[in-house]
Structure 1
């Protein structure tokens, strides 16, 4: 099913999530994109970490998506909600393929399940050479050009922050991540098999991973919902943080399929919400998720 309206920035199940958190409910794990850090999820971390355990995991572990996923699986909780942005979404799909029983629900943002074509794979080579020769900032600017974000007063500030954090991580990590992307495999089968609540989120003006790619992913999955973020490009978490945080909060509170229909029977926030509803608990007041970076 698809929902292309902007997020309202709130959810009516925040206190349910808070109560469920005391019952050992799966935490939220977020994976950033190429040369990314927790900076890309700061608004979501500040809002969602108040109601549930929330963390960001770096994309370390090797020069193959499979190795990065294996490395993460040795460190992540036994069960978790998983959200990935761009390259983080690609790693999230590999985690899903390798350990579907550990993923309670899935959010894929600004990403694609398809591998590079031979031509696209070859385009990484000059970027790798440039990064190794000391031109990492130029490489990052080439990977994420200005027009990949929607026009806005904060666009250049966001991009400069992304370039700066990428340079801090260094060229060695860029080469490893570029090689991993260059060699990635098709993940359509893993998406088709997953039955947990899924949010497919896309910036309306994303030129790197356009809307049609997200529509394709949503159509593959039995319990996927598509949310298009207006006024955003490839980094909607920073471009339109209120909309993204609201959409994620709704996804985290979404009721999962019945246990006999799910890919993983372990409890999560949604099942706790369903249990409270069946016990005739009155509706919970909404939590308004504001952008903590917004200035008046």
Structure 2
């Protein structure tokens, strides 16, 4: 079972799935900013944040099944699922395997396409290296790609927090997640078949999953929309939490309005 933090707020249940290689600790500003209007649930994906890794083969589908079991455990039929980066891959796996559990989805700084052969090889290189050397090497390996230039230049506290979260990630979880992400399928057909609303969020300075990719994802969803977060890179929820929260809250309010009985 996933370890998680749940807010005391009322309203629609909203599950926030964290980025690689962070933990649910990245969602502090969202727990504070969204809990007045939503029931915010922030699980740690397997291996991260003290959650057991288990012995299953690496797969984003396994992580999606974990989220579905969490909803069962909390007796929640359907929720809005928000996934950032790796969390977005897990959210798209939820769309494939557990579509009946979704009220809507938010896909933040993620991509629908499968990895290229070169990208898969690089993930395996990182997985092998982190198992041999530990997670401290990740700071130099991926830090420059994780945040935007504005954060790197002028938000030293955020930059330092991200680096600390990255370097404290358990090596086994890092390797497992890299291999899980390497094996994920293309999800554009999944997006085209979505029957719930989707919000695609992207930092305008995100070089890992750029705005053009996010726009293609939003356009693939029958009821899709795009929000671009200014002065943010790949971790828009951490870099510009107020703008991120505002976009997500507006999206959720729209879903809540549609779900409210009329008469």
Measured against the shorter chain, the TM-score band is 0.7 to 0.9
Q: Work out the CA distance in 2 between the residues paired with 1:93 and 1:237.
A: 19
Instruction: Work out which of the residue numbers 9, 16, 26 in structure 2 matches 1:40.
Output: 26
Q: Work out the CA distance in 2 between the residues paired with 1:121 and 1:54.
A: 33
Q: How far 1:37 moved relative to its partner?
A: 1.6
Q: Work out the CA distance in 2 between the residues paired with 1:252 and 1:233.
A: 23
CA displacement, residues 224-280 of structure 1 (integer Å, 9 cap, x when unaligned)? 11011111111111211111111111000115xxxxxxxxxxxxx23245x4xx56x
Q: Work out the CA distance in 1 between the residues paired with 2:135 and 2:44.
A: 19
Indicate conservation of the 8 Å contact 2:145/2:234, yes or no. no
Q: Work out the CA distance in 2 between the residues paired with 1:193 and 1:271.
A: 20
Structure with more relative contact order (C-alpha pairs < 8 Å, separation 6 or more): 1
Q: Work out the CA distance in 2 between the residues paired with 1:37 and 1:46.
A: 16
SS at match of 1:30: strand
Say whether residues 1:70 and 2:69 are aligned partners: no
Alignment root-mean-square deviation, CA: 2.0
Gap runs ≥5 in structure 2: 1-8, 47-52
Say whether residues 1:117 and 2:116 are aligned partners: yes
SS at match of 1:228: strand
Gap runs ≥5 in structure 1: 1-17, 256-268, 280-296
TM-score by length of 2: 0.85
Aligned pairs for 1:160-199 (under 5 A) are 160-199=160-199
Say whether residues 1:93 and 2:92 are aligned partners: yes
SS at match of 2:176: helix
Aligned pairs for 1:51-62 (under 5 A) are 51-60=37-46, 62=56
Instruction: Work out which of the residue numbers 234, 258, 262 in structure 2 matches 1:271.
Output: 258
Counterpart in the other structure of 2:50: none
CA displacement, residues 24-44 of structure 1 (integer Å, 9 cap, x when unaligned)? x64000000112222322111
Q: Work out the CA distance in 1 between the residues paired with 2:141 and 2:193.
A: 35
Counterpart in the other structure of 2:148: 149
Counterpart in the other structure of 2:227: 227
Q: How far 1:59 moved relative to its partner?
A: 1.8
Q: How far 1:194 moved relative to its partner?
A: 1.1
Q: How many residues align?
A: 241
Q: Work out the CA distance in 2 between the residues paired with 1:114 and 1:214.
A: 11
Q: How far 1:107 moved relative to its partner?
A: 0.4
Q: Work out the CA distance in 2 between the residues paired with 1:137 and 1:29.
A: 29
Q: Work out the CA distance in 1 between the residues paired with 2:143 and 2:114.
A: 19
SS at match of 2:212: helix
SS at match of 2:66: helix
Is the alpha carbon distance of 1:162 and 1:228 closer, same or farther for their aligned partners in structure 2, counting shifts above 3 Å?
same
Is 193-202 or 245-254 further displaced after alignment? Answer: 193-202
Q: How far 1:215 moved relative to its partner?
A: 0.6
Counterpart in the other structure of 2:80: 81
Q: Work out the CA distance in 2 between the residues paired with 1:242 and 1:194.
A: 28
SS at match of 2:165: helix
Q: How far 1:221 moved relative to its partner?
A: 0.5
Indicate conservation of the 8 Å contact 1:130/1:139, yes or no. no
SS at match of 2:41: strand
Is the alpha carbon distance of 1:104 and 1:238 closer, same or farther for their aligned partners in structure 2, counting shifts above 3 Å?
same
